[in-house]
Amino acid sequence: MSKQDVLKQNADIAGIAEGINQSAENYSENAMFNNPRGHGLAAEHANHMFDVLTGQKAEHVGSNNIKDGADRIVNGIQIQSKYCASGGKCVQECFNEQGHFRYLNPDGTPMQIEVPSDMYDSAVQSMRTRIEKGTIPGVSDPAEAENIIRKGHFTYEQVKRIAQAGTIEGLTYDAVRGIRLAGTSAGITAVISFAVGIWRKEDIATALKTAVLSGLHSGGVAWVSSIAAAQVGRTGLEKGLRPATDWVVKQLGPKATRWIATGLRNGKPLYGAAAASHVSKILRGNVVTSAITVVVLSSQDMVKLFRRQISGAQLFKNVTITTASVAGGVGGTLAASAIGTMIFPGVGTVVGALIGITGGLLGGKFSKDATQKVMDRFIQDDSRKLLSIIENVFVTEAEGFLLSEQEGEAVVAALRNLDLGKKLLEMHASKDHQEYARQLLVPLMEAEVAKREKVTPPSEEELMVALAEVLEFAAD
């Protein structure tokens, strides 16, 4: 593997690890969609995302679980989302059993009620009827129904499909959400790659080119992995993993769990069952997203296996090392971010993030290097085996061509100028490795031999003169 490849892989670790942690949060949110009322949560998140993308000052506050509180705040307006099967049902859900309107602003005025775009008219009419009956505090004009009812950005059927796995709407939603974390992942990788390039005395143009390529790779992996993980979050796998992650959290104990949960929430305290649930959900998200990321990162090796360009043992070794690298990077980022946030409350968001990036880089690199050493003891790389064959063929053919030491060095230099990585893949896929090596080396040797000075055979007279001199010398 070239130095550029090693640099790219090490720079990828921190960026991909941060992308996995953000994907884990997306996974945890999408897991809540997988219940009978999940489309209501999908409506909150989808409408919030739309407002953010259109430049609104939007805040999603529904997770604070305040009784009869707002789900969203847009440009200072508190909003409660109601996505039900009919406009009348949306309005009905805004009243308690005693017929009192539930959602009021701090000043006592009614919050805006967000309903599906295709049910806006019927919801307004239903609210008009309620106002006429005097059920809305401080509101007597039925025309105010149009100010209370807010038209959502999506229809009822659209948010139902967003909440489901495998739908166009759900995939589109996940793809758009993944763009942001992909940008973060790409940026982290690019900055680290550029810095390492400068420290290694590379010129700015070369360092920048490597940084851009590394960033694009890291961001692409993070984006694809986030979409796949978010889709899995809507399936039954979430429930299957819950007992395992709940057990892990239980082993941590309430104090450690509270500390981790508070750190992961940028210093916002979380206690008891809420802290345990939060940490357990993040763990499940990391497990799923990490597994998917390993598959994405290993996809090229899997294709090479099908093409017979690498062996099964090489694939196993590569996947094992990739898994260790991803796990180490994610663990390092998660732990370092939490530690940084707890040590530096107030500025913990920034400091925790910076420490998390460093933790991801060091954790991933340490895990990768340690696993590489262990695996090297049991499985020899395909490239080493093939290079050994090339060396043996080189010695045999060099003797046949009577190569001098200088000529041999020139052939080796020419061999290095080839795309040796590609040639080794082709060699592994060939039926006869030795024959492939011979066909690779012989043209290079023939080209070098062709540079030799042309030798003109001596004439018969010259041979006779030389022979006479030798015989005369021997007689003396």
As a whole number of angstroms, the distance between CA 388 and CA 325 comes to 28
What letter would DSSP give residue 164?
S
**In 197-230, which positions are buried (b, 16+ CB within 10 angstroms) versus exposed (e)?**
beeeebeeeebbebbeebbebbbebbbbbbbbbb
The residue-averaged pLDDT of 84-98 equals 92
Question: DSSP assignment, residue 101?
Answer: B
Give the mean model confidence (pLDDT) for residues 388-409: 81
Q: Say what percent of the chain tops pLDDT 70.
A: 75
Rounded distance between C-alpha atoms, residue 1 and residue 4, angstroms:
8
Pairing of strands 72-74, 58-60: antiparallel
Q: What is the mean pLDDT of residues 48-65?
A: 87
* Residue-by-residue DSSP string for 181-242: HHHHHHHHHHHHHHHHHHHTT--HHHHHHHHHHHHHHHHHHHHHHHHHHHHHTTSTHHHHHH
- The 8 Å CB, 24+ separation contacts for 35-42 are 38/163, 39/83, 39/156, 39/159, 39/160, 39/162, 39/163, 40/81, 40/82, 40/83, 40/159, 41/163, 42/159, 42/160, 42/162, 42/163, 42/173
pLDDT tens-digit map of 123-163: 999 999 999 988 898 898 999 999 999 999 999 999 999 98
Vertex 277: Cα angle to 38 and 248 (nearest 5): 130
Q: For residue 63, what is the DSSP state?
A: G
- Model-wide pTM > 0.85: no
More reliable by pLDDT, 393 or 88: 88
CA distance readout (Å), 5 to 188, 210, 214, 318, 420: 17, 10, 10, 14, 14
Are the C-beta atoms of residues 382 and 424 closer than 8 Å to each other?
A: yes
Sign of CA dihedral 40, 42, 47, 52: positive
What pLDDT shows up at residue 317? 62
Task: Write down the pLDDT at residue 368.
Answer: 52
Element counts in the chain: helices (H) and strands (E): 18, 5
pLDDT digits (tens, 9 = 90+) for 185-241: 788 778 777 877 787 788 888 888 888 888 888 888 888 888 888 888 888 777 777
Could you give the CA distance from residue 446 to residue 127 in angstroms, rounded to a whole number? 90
Answer with the residue of higher pLDDT: 64 or 335.
64
- Examine the pLDDT at 274 and tell me if it is beyond 50: yes
Which whole number is the average pLDDT over 353-368?
Answer: 47
Beta partners for 60?
72
Write out the two tokens for 132: 């006429």
Q: For residue 382, give the amino acid letter.
A: D
Strand order in the sheet with 112-115: 58-60, 72-74, 77-81, 112-115, 149-151
The pLDDT tens digits for 303-357 are 666 667 667 666 666 666 666 666 555 555 555 555 555 555 544 444 444 444 4
CA 188/CA 10 separation, integer angstroms: 12
- At residue 29, does pLDDT exceed 70? yes
% of the chain with per-residue pLDDT over 90: 20
